[in-house]
Structure 1
Amino acid sequence: MSRATPMAPEERRQAIIDATLPLLLARGTEMSTREIAQAAGIAEGTIFRAFETKQDLIHATIHTALMPDAAITRIAQLPEGQALNDRVAAILDVLREEIHRTRSLFAHFARPSGQPAAGPPTRPPFGGIRPPFNPHETKTRLNTAVAAALQPYSGELAVSTAFATNLLSALAFASSFTLTEDEPTISSEELSDVVLHGIAKGDS
Structure 2
Amino acid sequence: MTPIPRLSADDRRAQIIEAVTPAVLTHGIAVTTRQLAEAAGVSEGTLFKAFGDKESLLLALAEYHLTMEHAGETAAMPLDTLEEVVSWTLRELVERTRFVFRLVMALGPIGQRAAASARADFEASKHRLAGRFEPFRDELRVSPVVAADVVRTLAWAAASSWGEHGAVSSVDEILEVLLHGIVHDPAVSSTRGGTHGAVVSALATDTQKG
**TM-score normalised according to structure 2 size:** 0.70
TM-superposed CA distance for 1:74, in Å, is 4.0
Q: 1:175 to 1:52 in 2, by over 3 A?
A: closer
Look up the equivalent residue of 1:47 and give its one-letter code.
L
After TM superposition, list the pairs within 5 Å mapping 1:170-185 onto structure 2: 170-177=153-160
Cα distance in 1, alignment partners of residues 157 and 39 from structure 2: 38
C-alpha separation in 2, matches of 1:32 and 1:7: 25
Runs of 5+ consecutive residues of structure 2 not aligned to the other structure: 189-210
For residues 174 and 29 of structure 1, the distance between their equivalents in structure 2, rounded to whole angstroms, comes to 26
Counterpart residue number, 2:93: 95
- Measured in 1, the distance between the counterparts of 2:17 and 2:161 equals 34
Residue type at the aligned position of 2:107:
F
- 8 A contact 2:159–2:167 mirrored in 1: no
Cα pair 1:66 1:102 within 8 Å, conserved = yes
Return the offset for 1:29. Answer: 3.7
Deviation at 1:78, TM superposition (A): 4.3
Q: How many equivalent pairs are there?
A: 184
Measure how far apart 1:147 and its partner are: 0.2
Q: Distance in 1 between matches of 2:41 and 2:32?
A: 14
Rg bigger for which structure?
1
In the TM superposition, residue 103 of structure 1 has moved relative to its aligned partner by: 1.5
Which secondary structure state, in structure 2, belongs to the residue aligned with residue 166 of structure 1? helix
1:92 aligned partner, one-letter code? L
Give distance in 1, aligned partners of 2:34 and 2:166: 46
| Mapping of residues 14-25 of structure 1, within 5 Å | 14-25=14-25
Taking structure 1 as reference, are residues 152 and 178 closer, same or farther at Cα in structure 2, changes over 3 Å only? same
State the partner residue of 1:41.
41
By how many angstroms is 1:163 displaced? 1.4
Distance (whole Å) between structure 1 residues aligned to residue 36 and residue 165 of structure 2: 39
Structure with the larger RCO, 1 or 2 (CA within 8 Å, 6+ apart): 1
Q: For 1:73, what is the secondary structure of its paired residue?
A: coil
CA deviations 1:131-186 (Å, max 9, x no partner) are 43334234224312320111110111121111111221222223344686698853
Q: Do structure 1's residue 149 and structure 2's residue 149 form an aligned pair?
A: no
Question: Alpha-carbon deviation of 1:3?
Answer: 5.9
Q: Which amino acid aligns with 2:90?
A: L
How far did residue 46 of structure 1 move?
2.5
Partner of 1:6: 6
- Tell me the percent identity: 27
Is the helix fraction higher in 1 or 2?
Answer: 2
Write the distance in 2 (CA, Å) between the matches of 1:193 and 1:93: 13
Question: Letter of the aligned partner of 1:79 in structure 2?
Answer: P
Whether 1:158 aligns to 2:156 is no
CA pair 186-47 structure 1, distance change in 2 beyond 3 A: closer
Structure 1 outlier segments of 4+, above 6 Å: none
